[in-house]
Structure 1
Amino acid sequence: MAVIETRGLTKRYGSVTALEGLDITIEEGITGLVGANGAGKSTLIKILLGLLTATQGSARVLGHDVRADGSAIRTLVGYLPEHDCLPPDVRAIDFVVHMGQMSGLPPTTARERAADVLRHVGLAEERYRLMGGYSTGMKQRAKLAQALVHDPRLVLLDEPTNGLDPASRDDMLHLVQRIGQDFGIPVLVTSHLLGELERVSDHIVVLDGGRLLRAQATQSFTGDTGVLLVEVLGDGSAQQRMGEALAGRGLPCRPRGQQIEIDLHQVSAAETVRDTVRDLACDIEVGLVRIQAEHGRIEDVFREGVSNVPAP
């Protein structure tokens, strides 16, 4: 069963369209929801939680209809909101215990679970401090703890690395991976930083202007593109000589900045191309910097304007 499913999901605010005809199916594992600010990521999450009502279309979360079963969904789902919402005069342990009880845990169980998840997110030594004195990274960890305290069946993380320095961002991404891989809880995580989601997600959903551009396994975005990139030492004349030598061997190539691009799709014996490049470099006495297969990137989807959903 899909953990999240939407059909024709649309949300408008007057003349502004936040989501347009969204059809997505999200399975188990870690799914990255990527798009620029204003792409509709937070709007989608709030609709999935039953906090916003869609203008048109339908959505189901863990088999529950978001229009009719919002309360049940929020009991089953852990949610880390994007913005700072922590009470500054409350200790982390008390806040997480309270959130556990709000989700239906008995007081003793809530306190045990709170201690466990605060240790898991790295706040064991800081759990008795008032959260108003927390750094941004510690606040994000506290928000993650409250999202996990009731042992949810699905976790929605809205920009969990927002405002973090590089080291704290890496730590948070590692925690996200542990939730999905070690604990086996499905995760939907949003970010406008494309490279982050490539690192941690099994699947990627790309939104642009409220519309779906593509939804595929991460490997489909980042796999080998069938292009080999060659870089040589020297000025433009060295690159030109190398390009002419490659073309002379029947290899389809063209310059790309300081590199030469070889299209392996048009080569019958692609497995021998690297050897040919090395041999030619020796023959014409040009130094090789690198021979590297090109891999796709999520941002390529935005640049190409590819969409797997027809515009209405």
Structure 2
Amino acid sequence: MGVIETHGLTKRYGSITALNDLDVTVGEGVTGLVGANGAGKSTLIKILLGLVPATSGTATVLDHDVATQGSAIRALVGYMPEHDCLPADVSANDLVLHMGQMSGLPYAAARERTSDVLRHVGLAEERYRPMGGYSTGMKQRAKLAQALVHDPRLVLLDEPTNGLDPASRDDMLALVQRIGGDFGIAVLVTSHLLGELERVSDNVVVLDGGQMLQSSATTEFMHATGSLIVEVHGRSDADRALGQALIDAGLVARPMPGGLIEVEVRDAGTSDVVRDLTVDLGLGLVRLQERHHRIEDVFREGGAGSVQPV
């Protein structure tokens, strides 16, 4: 069973459908949940935490039913909200310590965990400063620290790079990778910035309008949406001849500048078809190069909304 599982999960707000018949399984490691603003990412997280009831369908988190065991789930899960929710006159140390105790840790254990987690997120030297004077990057680190203080089995990170400059974004993504790798904590991280999730996620779930477009390992995701760049010679119309032969064979082939051909990968045998047709036409194969598309290509093909590449 996965860390998170949903079956037919649906959430409606009046006439608006935020999630529609969602079937998702999230396992260990880092899973990226990508979708445009309004795709249903935050709604899904609230349901998984037991904070918002689903209209229909079921969901479990760490084998707990979200409909009846919300308190047990929140004791095992760390949550980093998207929006700024930090008290300006409180230090990061006091906030994280308090959250540790609220999660059931004794004072001594909470104090020790607070020290460790603030060091891990890079706030050791700034831990006693009021958070009202923090930069956006420091506030995001403080929010991450409070999500980790009780040593959760799963963390839900809602847009953790929101508002960060490129350098701070890279630092945050490195922390996300450490959580899923070095710390061994399962991570579900949302973003509308596609390149981020390619970089840090083991698996990717794509939402559009509350529906799942695709769910797979990131490597499979990029391979499945890939293509081949083909260059042939031997006669003046070599590219046109091969392109037509590929189309006649049922493949999707497009001309590219410089006499190149782009062929969409249909399956593992696509390159063999290209090679065999090249030989049949008496042409020379100069280049047969894999070209992996990015996650954003799935949105173009699926007709999703304004999801931004990085």
User: Against the structure 1 CA distance between its residues 271 and 170, is the aligned structure 2 distance closer, same or farther, given a 3 Å change threshold?
Assistant: farther
Taking the TM superposition and a 5 Å limit, the aligned residue runs for 1:137-156 are 137-156=137-156
Counterpart in 2 of 1:211? 211
Counterpart in 2 of 1:177? 177
**1:296, CA displacement in angstroms?**
2.5
Taking the TM superposition and a 5 Å limit, the aligned residue runs for 1:23-42 are 23-42=23-42
Counterpart in 2 of 1:71? 71
Deviates more, 1:242-251 or 1:68-77: 242-251
1:305 is aligned to 2:302:
yes
**1:271, CA displacement in angstroms?**
10
User: Against the structure 1 CA distance between its residues 276 and 169, is the aligned structure 2 distance closer, same or farther, given a 3 Å change threshold?
Assistant: farther
Letter in 2 for 1:121: V
Residue deviations 1:78-116 (CA, integer Å, cap 9, x gap): 000000000010000000000000000001110110010
Counterpart in 1 of 2:238? 245
User: Against the structure 1 CA distance between its residues 228 and 121, is the aligned structure 2 distance closer, same or farther, given a 3 Å change threshold?
Assistant: same
> CA separation in 2, counterparts of 1:92 and 1:123?
8
Give the conservation status (yes or no) of the 8 Å contact 1:243–1:255: no
Residue deviations 1:97-144 (CA, integer Å, cap 9, x gap): 000000000011101100100000001111011100000000000000
Deviates more, 1:242-251 or 1:141-150: 242-251
- Size of the aligned set, in residue pairs, is 288
Give the conservation status (yes or no) of the 8 Å contact 2:256–2:262: no
Taking the TM superposition and a 5 Å limit, the aligned residue runs for 1:191-206 are 191-206=191-206
Give the conservation status (yes or no) of the 8 Å contact 2:226–2:293: no
User: Against the structure 1 CA distance between its residues 249 and 259, is the aligned structure 2 distance closer, same or farther, given a 3 Å change threshold?
Assistant: closer
Counterpart in 1 of 2:249? none
Give the conservation status (yes or no) of the 8 Å contact 1:32–1:201: yes
* Structure 1 spans left out of the alignment, 5+ residues: 232-240, 279-289, 308-312
Aligned residue for 1:32, secondary structure, equals strand
Give the conservation status (yes or no) of the 8 Å contact 2:242–2:277: no
Q: Which runs of 4+ in 1 moved over 6 A?
A: none
**1:24, CA displacement in angstroms?**
0.8
Q: TM-score, normalised by structure 2?
A: 0.85
Counterpart in 1 of 2:291? 294
* Structure 2 spans left out of the alignment, 5+ residues: 247-252, 305-310
Residue deviations 1:139-174 (CA, integer Å, cap 9, x gap): 000000000000001010000001111111111010
> CA separation in 2, counterparts of 1:212 and 1:225?
16
> CA separation in 1, counterparts of 2:47 and 2:175?
25
> CA separation in 1, counterparts of 2:217 and 2:36?
20
Identical columns (%): 70
> CA separation in 2, counterparts of 1:271 and 1:111?
67
**1:247, CA displacement in angstroms?**
4.2
Taking the TM superposition and a 5 Å limit, the aligned residue runs for 1:271-286 are 276=284, 278=286
1:129 is aligned to 2:161:
no
> CA separation in 2, counterparts of 1:171 and 1:185?
18
Give the conservation status (yes or no) of the 8 Å contact 2:239–2:261: no
> CA separation in 2, counterparts of 1:125 and 1:164?
20
Give the conservation status (yes or no) of the 8 Å contact 1:11–1:55: yes
> CA separation in 1, counterparts of 2:229 and 2:211?
33
User: Against the structure 1 CA distance between its residues 225 and 258, is the aligned structure 2 distance closer, same or farther, given a 3 Å change threshold?
Assistant: farther
User: Against the structure 1 CA distance between its residues 93 and 272, is the aligned structure 2 distance closer, same or farther, given a 3 Å change threshold?
Assistant: farther
